[in-house]
Chains A and B, each alone.
Chain A
Amino acid sequence: MKRKLPLLLTFFIGILMIISEFIPHKPFGSISGEVENWFLIISGFAIILGQLSLFKVNWFKIRYKEQNWQYYIITLVSFIVMVALGIFWGTEKNPGLLGNGNQISAFIGSKPFDYLFDNIYQHLQATMFSLLAFFIASAAYRAFIARTFESTLLLVAAILVMLGNTSIGFLLTGWIPDSLNFLHLPKITEFIMKYPTTAGQRAIMIGAALGIIGSSIRIILGIERSYLGGD
C-alpha cells in the first residue's frame, strides 16, 4: 500500500492533467486549476525543505569531519547569519521580529541583511561568473584545433560568430557597400545563428520534448518509479 498509493495518485493526477489539456471545461478545467494551486503551495514548502536539507547535509559533513569539512563551516555560518539577519531585522522594506534595526542601519548605511547582500553576496556571485572569461579563453586555446573537417568547420563558425558578436566585426566590415551586405560580419553571424544554429537547437528541443513525453508516460503508468526513492 505504501508504494501503491503514490503510484495510483500519480496515475490519476497525470491522466486528469492530460485530459484537461484537451477538454479545458468543467470539471476538468477547474480541477487542473486546483491541482496547479497545490503545486504552488508545495513549491513554497520545497524551498523550506531545500534549506533544511542544506543545513542537514552540511551539518553531517562537519560532524563526521568529512574531507574538506572546514569549508562546510563557512557555508553553514553564512547560511545561519543571513537567515538570522533576515528574521530579526528584515529586509529593505519589511521589518523583522526585532523591528527595522534603525541603530544598526544608521551605523552601516542599510539593514544588515541588505548590507551583506549588496556588498558581499552580489560581488561574490558576479566574480564567480566573471571567472568564466578566463577559463573559456584557456579552454578555447586548447580545444579549438583544426584536426578534422568537422573541427575546422566548428573553428571557422566560432571565429565568425565571435567577431560578428563584437564591435570589431562591424569595424572590420563596416566599409563594405550595402549591395554586398551579406559579407558584413554581423550579418554572417546573424545568418549562422538564425539558420544552422536554430535548426540544430530545434532538433535538440524536439528530441528533448519527445524524451520528456516518453518519461512522463513511464511515470504515469508506474513503469518509472525512481521518484519514490529506490527501484
Chain B
Amino acid sequence: MAEKKKQLDRRWIFLTIFLGVALPLILKIGLPISVSENVRNVYELVENTPPDSKVILSFDYDPASKPELHPMARAVVKQCFQKNLKIIFTALWPMGVQMASDIVDQLKDEFPNLKYGENYVNLGYKAGGMVTIQAMGRNLRAIFPQDMNGTSIDELPIMNGVNNFETIAFVISFSAGDPGIKQWVQVAHDTYKLKTSGGVTGVSAPAILPYVNEQKQLTGLIAGLKGAAEYEKLIRTLGTATSGMDAQSLAHLIIIVFILTANINFWIAKKKEKKK
C-alpha cells in the first residue's frame, strides 16, 4: 500500500515526457551518434553494389510507423540513387506504395535527372505476403505484369531482363511487422539465395536480430530511429532521424530517472514496513 501511495501521478510523467521530446526537437542539441556494426553492414551492402545494378526495396509499413521507418528508408533510397542503382519499389502492405512515392517525391529536387521507368519503378502492392515473394522468385513478371500506374512492365526499360530474383543484386525491406522482413529472409534469401537486408522498428528488432547471423540470412539490420540516425551519419545527411535521436535520448533518460525514483520509493517503503 505504501508503495502505491508513494507513486507519482502519471500526468506528471506525461508532462515530463512531452517536454523531454518537444524541447530537443525545437532547440536541436546535436548529441553524438556512434555507428553500430549492423547498420554499417547495410550501408556497405549498398555501397559495394556495382552501379546500374537492379535492387528491390520493399515498403512493408504504413503511416503508423512512418516516423521511425521513413527516415531510414529515405536514407537508403538516397544512397541507392547516389550509387546509380536502379530501384524496383514493391510493397507487401497496401500503404507502403504511398510511402515509397512520398520518398521519391522528397528526393526529386536532389536528383532532378531521375527518370521513372529507367532509374526506378513502383510496382505497387500485392496481397499474399510470403506467397507473393515465392511467386516473384519463380516469375516476377507474372506477379507484377503492370506497375502501380497500370503501365505494362514490358514498356519500362528498368524491367528489361527482370524475370525473377536472378538479376536482382539485393532486396531491402522496411518492415513494421507481418508480412515483412521475416518473409523476405525466409523466401528471398533462404530459397533463392538473394542478399537480403532491411530496417525495422525498434520494438520489433529483437525478434529479427536472430536472422543477423553467420549464414548472413540478413546482411545487417537498421533498427529503429537510432539505426536510421546512424545511417544518416554514414551517408553524411543529417535528417529527421538525427534530430529525432536527441528527443529519443532525452525521453529514455527521463524514463530511466522515473524507474530509479520508483525503485528508491519502493526500497524506502519496504524499510519502513520492516521497522514497523
Please list the residues of chain A having a beta carbon within 8 angstroms of any beta carbon in chain B: 33, 36-37, 39-40, 43-44, 46-47, 92-94, 117, 121-123, 125-126, 128-130, 133-134, 136-138, 140-142, 144-147, 155, 158-159, 162-163, 165-168, 170-171, 174, 186, 190, 193-194, 197-198, 201-202, 205
**Would A122 and B63 count as touching, CB distance under 8 A?**
yes
Count residues of B near A (Cβ-Cβ below 8 Å).
61
Cα separation A36 to B263 with both chains bound (whole Å): 54
Chain A residues with CB under 8 A of B129: 43
Q: Is B148 an interface residue (CB 8 A)?
A: yes
- Known contacts A46-B127, A93-B149, A166-B248: does B32 contact A140 (CB below 8 Å)? no
Shortest distance in angstroms between A127's beta carbon and chain B's nearest beta carbon? Answer: 9
Residues of A within 8 A of B36 (CB): 186, 190
A contacts with B: majority SS: helix
With both chains docked as a complex, state the minimum distance between the C-beta of A3 and any C-beta of chain B, in angstroms. 26
**Interface SS majority for chain B:** helix
- Given A159-B259, A167-B32; 20 other pairs, CB 8 A cutoff: A36-B135, A40-B127, A43-B127, A46-B127, A92-B101, A93-B148, A94-B150, A126-B66, A141-B10, A162-B255, A162-B256, A167-B249, A168-B252, A170-B32, A171-B32, A174-B32, A186-B34, A190-B36, A194-B209, A202-B210
| B63 lies within 8 A of A121 (CB) | yes
Name, among A134, A137, A190, the residue most crowded by chain B CB atoms within 10 Å (CB to CB).
A137
Chain A residues closer than 8 Å to B51, beta-carbon distance: none
Residues of A within 8 A of B268 (CB): none
Q: Are A125 and B253 touching (Cβ within 8 A)? A: no
Closest B residue to A158 by beta carbon equals B259
- Hey, which chain A residues are within 8 Å of B251, CB to CB? 133, 137
Q: Determine whether the beta carbon of A201 is less than 8 Å from that of B64.
A: no
CB B63 to nearest CB in A, in angstroms, measures 4
Q: Which of B13-21, B41-49, B154-162 contacts A (4 or more CB under 8 A)?
A: B13-21
Q: A141-B13, A167-B33, A194-B209 are in contact. Are A40 and B259 (CB under 8 A)?
A: no
Closest residue on chain B to residue A190 by CB atoms? B36
* B33 partner, pick from A46, A129, A162, A170, beta carbons under 8 A: A170
In the complex, what residue of chain B is closest to A45 when comparing beta carbons? Answer: B127
Cβ-defined contact, A134 with B67, below 8 A: no
Could you tell me if B135 and A165 are in contact, using CB atoms closer than 8 angstroms?
no
A139 to B157, CA, bound (A): 53
Query: B262 within 8 Å of A by Cβ?
Result: yes
Nearest neighbor of B67 in chain A, beta-carbon distance: A126
Contact A138 B13 (CB under 8 A): yes
Q: Which of B77-85, B107-115, B200-208 contacts A (4 or more CB under 8 A)?
A: B200-208
* Residues of chain A lying within 8 A (CB to CB) of residue B150: 94
Q: Does A165 lie within 8 Å of B127, measured CB to CB?
A: no
User: What are the residues of chain A within 8 A of B262 when measuring CB–CB?
Assistant: 141-142, 144-145
A-B contact count (CB 8 A): 148
Q: Are B255 and A136 in contact (CB under 8 A)?
A: yes
Other-chain residue from B32, B143, B259 in contact with A155 (beta carbon distance below 8 A)? B259
Inter-subunit contact A125/B135 (CB<8 Å): no
Give Cα distance in the complex from A133 to B101, angstroms: 28
Name the CB-closest residue of A to B105: A92
Whether A155 contacts B263 by the Cβ 8 Å rule is yes
Q: Do A141 and B259 have beta carbons less than 8 Å apart?
A: yes
CB of A122 within 8 A of CB of B66, answer: yes
Q: Are A166 and B249 in contact (CB under 8 A)?
A: yes
Measured in the bound complex, the distance between the Cα atoms of B31 and A133 in whole Å is 20
B128 & A198 in contact (Cβ 8 Å cutoff):
no
Chain B residues, CB < 8 A from A92: 98, 101
- Considering only residues 252-272 of chain B, those with a C-beta below 8 Å from chain A are 252-256, 258-259, 261-263, 266
Cα of A134 to Cα of B19 in the assembled complex, Å: 11
List the B residue with the shortest CB-CB distance to A152: B263
A-B contact pairs, 5 of them (CB 8 A): A39-B128, A43-B128, A92-B101, A141-B13, A205-B210
Chain B residues whose CB sits within 8 angstroms of the CB of A165 once the complex forms? 202, 224, 226, 252
Contacting residues, chain B, for A129 (C-beta < 8 A): 64-65, 67
Distance A39 CA – B64 CA, assembled complex (angstroms): 28
A168 CA to B32 CA, complexed, in Å: 8
| Beta-carbon contact of A197 and B127 below 8 Å | no
Task: Provide the residues of chain A in CB contact with B210, threshold 8 Å.
Answer: 198, 201-202, 205
Which residues does chain B contribute within 8 Å of A40, judged by CB atoms?
126-128, 131-132, 135, 143
In the complex formed, the residue of B with least CB distance to A204 is B207
A-B pairs with lowest CB-CB distance, top 7? A167-B31, A166-B249, A43-B127, A122-B63, A125-B63, A125-B64, A141-B258
User: Across the interface, do B246 and A43 meet the contact criterion of CB distance under 8 Å?
Assistant: no
- CB 8 Å contact bits of B215-259 with A (1 = contact, 0 = none): 000000000101000000000000000000110111111111011
